[in-house]
Structure 1
Amino acid sequence: MSFDTPLYLCGPLREPKQMLADQEYSGHSSIHDDSMAEKLGFRAGPIEGPTHFSQFTPLLVEIWGQQWFEKGCFSSHFQNMVVEGEQVRAFVERPAPGQTRVRCWAEKADGTPVLEASASIGAAPGESLLYERMAKLRAPEKLVILSDLHVGMKGAVDEKVRMDPDQNMGKLYPFSLNQKLAGITENSSWYSDGSRTPWGRAVIPTEMVSVLAEYTSKDAEFPVKQPVIGLFADQEIRMIDGPLLVGEDYLIRREVVALSESKRTESYWVLSRIYDASGEVLKAEMLLNHATLKHSYANYEAEAAAL
């Protein structure tokens, strides 16, 4: 007997932790600070979107095993913010034999959507939810905060990065990997004990790849007008020759690949390519939609009117 009924994997309800209350963003508090979030019209400081990626890892490893760490791609559009104390559950479509891409989503305990995503293994660049979303973007009519950016703009320098277990990851991420592992929703010995992994080194969790990739982002010197508050609206983490390893040196090159606008935001989409220390072997990529809030920029109305 056979059925056409779609089946899904789901994980348990989890309460992700807020670790960015002390984040400093371009010299001021970020949206993850409760008081700043309230000023901007949000209930409280939200938990950072990629925090939720960890809940998907056990489900995707169940489907694809070790390959997930080596060439998996998680491509996510964030839908609703989560604050500490709220519970979240991850869902993944169960693939048919040979299927290399599945639909994923996360919900709060009451069913409120948190994110929608695609997960794929070994797919070519561009074959993901975010690249499909990016292809549908309309050119912005006029940009104020991002008026000095253009598609194709490259970061100012090649950025050298690494993540050691007890290394504080800077003003954007004022914590270490070990501190994150103390509160991560889904922990694994692979994240801390290299002798337990197939690569002989501890693996950087998917949500911490975002931290590694943003650690030196200011060095790109993209000319975004300040002060302004931003948030992550879309994010994709793609392993090409993975995984990324704890205590390993990497080099990052960045490029603005799209600009977009909504009623409330101006967005710049940055592709960060993560290479080995030599800069010759591409290991991973992160696509990130930085959405800047128009009303957080004091001169927005005046400058927009002058255009």
Structure 2
Amino acid sequence: MAFDTPLYLCGPLREPRQMLADQEYSGHTSIHDDSMAEKLGFQAGPIEGPTHFSQFVPLLAEVWGRDWFERGCFSAHFQNMVVEGEQVRAFIERPAPGATRVRAWAEKADGTPVLEASASLGPGDGDTLLDQRMAKLRAPEKLVILSDLRIGMTGEKDEPVRMDPDQNMGKLYPFSLNQKLERITENTPWYSDGSSTPWGRAIIPLEMVSVLAEYSSKDARFPVKQPTVGLFADQEIRMVDGPLFVGEDYLIRREIVALSESKRTESYWVRSRIYDAAGETLKAEMLLNHATLKHSYPHYDEEAAG
């Protein structure tokens, strides 16, 4: 008997953990600090968006197996913040046989949307959710915090990066991979025991690819005015020749690919390309919409009126 009823896969409700309460950048605490978040009008310090990506990995591995880890792309728009103690569940469409793209989303226990996303297998997987969102962006009318940025601007230099198991990832990410694995919502021996993986190496979890790609971002020296507080509004992680390995040297090159604005934020979209240590083979990419909060910049009104 055949039905055309759409079916979905979902995981269990999880309580993601806050690990950025002590995050510091540009000499001040971030939005993940409760007092800073409350000062800016939020309930409490939100859990970082890519933390939720881990809940999708078992679902996508069930659908696409090893291919997901080698050439998968997760492209997400964050909709509502989650604070520690709230529960979240991940969903994906069950794809038709041979399909290389599915819709994905996450909800709180009460149904409040957390994020919407596309998940796909490259190459040739067509427009991602963020490709579609970027295509609809309108040119900003007047940027203040980001007035010195330009589309096409690149990072000041190549950034060598790596992630060892006990390496503290710095002021932006004041914890190690092993500390993350103690709290990650979905763990697997693949993240710590190389002998258990098809590649003979421990792999970096999807949510920690964000950390690898971002912890050295200050070295790009993009001229964003300070002090400001920002958040991740959209994020896409794509494996090109994956997965990425624990204890492996990589090189990052960054480029600003879009600028945008909303009533409350100014945004710069950065594509970070992760290469092998020689800078020759593209391994992965991250697209990140850094949304800076206008009212967090003390000179905003004055400069906007000038």
TM-score, normalised with respect to structure 1:
0.99
Superposed CA offset, 1:204-240 (max 9, x none): 0000000000011000000000000000000000000
Matched, 1:170 2:141: no
1:187 is matched with which residue?
187
Displacement of 1:98 after TM fit?
1.1
1:212 is matched with which residue?
212
1:297 is matched with which residue?
297
Matched, 1:237 2:243: no
Matched, 1:138 2:138: yes
1:35 is matched with which residue?
35
| Root-mean-square deviation (Å) | 0.7
Displacement of 1:126 after TM fit?
6.2
Corresponding residue SS for 1:6: coil
Displacement of 1:125 after TM fit?
7.5
Displacement of 1:199 after TM fit?
0.9
Partner letter of residue 210 of structure 1? S
1:200 is matched with which residue?
200
Superposed CA offset, 1:67-99 (max 9, x none): 110000000000000000000000000000111
Superposed CA offset, 1:182-219 (max 9, x none): 00000000000000011111000000000000011000
2:147 is matched with which residue?
147
Partner letter of residue 211 of structure 2? V
Work out the CA distance in 1 between the residues paired with 2:119 and 2:304: 39
Superposed CA offset, 1:93-134 (max 9, x none): 000011100000000000000000000011448620001100
Q: Is the 8 A contact 1:126 1:132 kept in 2?
A: no
Partner letter of residue 128 of structure 1? T
Q: Is the 8 A contact 2:101 2:125 kept in 1?
A: no
Work out the CA distance in 2 between the residues paired with 1:280 and 1:57: 28
Displacement of 1:174 after TM fit?
0.1
Matched, 1:228 2:228: yes
Corresponding residue SS for 2:120: strand
Matched, 1:120 2:104: no
Superposed CA offset, 1:120-167 (max 9, x none): 011448620001100110000000000000000000000000000000
- Structure 1: gaps (5+ residues): none
Runs of 4+ that moved beyond 6 A: none
Corresponding residue SS for 1:243: coil
Work out the CA distance in 2 between the residues paired with 1:226 and 1:197: 43
Corresponding residue SS for 2:70: helix
Work out the CA distance in 1 between the residues paired with 2:24 and 2:302: 27
Q: Is the 8 A contact 2:100 2:125 kept in 1?
A: no
The number of residue pairs the alignment matches comes to 306
Partner letter of residue 248 of structure 2? E
1:73 is matched with which residue?
73
Partner letter of residue 162 of structure 1? R
1:4 is matched with which residue?
4
1:109 is matched with which residue?
109
Superposed CA offset, 1:228-255 (max 9, x none): 0000000000000000000000000000
Superposed CA offset, 1:256-293 (max 9, x none): 00000000000000000000000000000000000000
- Structure 2: gaps (5+ residues): none
1:261 is matched with which residue?
261
Work out the CA distance in 2 between the residues paired with 1:4 and 1:264: 42
Superposed CA offset, 1:13-55 (max 9, x none): 0000000000002110000000000000000000000000000
Work out the CA distance in 1 between the residues paired with 2:277 and 2:285: 15
Q: Is the 8 A contact 2:151 2:257 kept in 1?
A: yes
Q: Is the 8 A contact 1:54 1:205 kept in 2?
A: yes
Distance 1:69 1:272, change over 3 A: same
Partner letter of residue 257 of structure 1? V
Q: Is the 8 A contact 1:100 1:123 kept in 2?
A: no
